[in-house]
Amino acid sequence: MSTPTITSLALLTPGNFADDAPCTGLEETLQLFEYGERLGFDGAWIRQRHLEHGVGSAAVFLAAAGQRTQRIELGTAVIPIGYESPFRLAEDLALADVLSRGRLQVGFSTGMLHADLLGDLVYDGDWRSFDLSYGRIARLVDHLRGDYLGGPDTVIHSPGNVQRPRLQPHNPGLVERIWYGGGSLRSARWAAENGLNLLSGNIVSGEDTDDFTTAQLNLLSEYRRSLGPDRTAARVALGRVIVPFDSADAATRARYRDYAASRHERTLKPQTIAALGGKRILFAPDVIGTAEQILEQLAADPVVAQVSELRLELPYEFHREEYEQILHDVRHLIAPELGWNPASPALQEAGR
CA 252, CA 288: separation in Å to the nearest integer? 12
pLDDT band of residue 136 (cuts 50, 70, 90) is very high
Strands (E), 110-171: 156-158, 161-163
Q: For the beta carbon of residue 316, count every other beta carbon within 10 angstroms.
A: 16
| pLDDT band with cut points at 50, 70 and 90 for residue 113 | confident
Whether residue 15 contacts residue 47, with contact meaning beta carbons closer than 8 Å, is answered with: yes
pLDDT at position 345? 52
Separation in Å, CA 134 to CA 50, 138, 265: 20, 6, 32
pLDDT in the model for residue 3: 66
For residue 180, give the nearest of 283, 230, 109, 118 by alpha carbon: 109
Which residues, in sequence order, are bridge partners of residue 128? none
Q: What is the mean pLDDT of residues 75-85?
A: 96
Alpha carbons 119 and 101: distance in angstroms, whole number? 34
| pLDDT beyond 60 at 347 | no
Please name which of 237, 252, 243 lies closest in space to residue 9, comparing C-alpha atoms.
237
The larger pLDDT score, comparing residue 300 to residue 1, is at 300
pTM: 0.93
Give the model's pLDDT for residue 350: 40
Closest CA to 316 of 1, 94, 57, 55: 55
Dump pLDDT digits (tens) for 182-223: 999 999 999 999 999 999 999 999 998 999 999 999 999 999
State residue 276's pLDDT score.
61
Report the range of poorest mean pLDDT among 176-190, 265-279, 316-330: 265-279
User: Taking 80 as the threshold, does the pLDDT of residue 1 lie above it?
Assistant: no
d(CA 96, CA 242): 29
Cβ-in-10-Å burial (0-12, 13-18, 19+) of 95 comes to: middle
Q: What is the pLDDT of residue 230?
A: 76
- Share of residues in the chain with pLDDT > 90 (%): 86
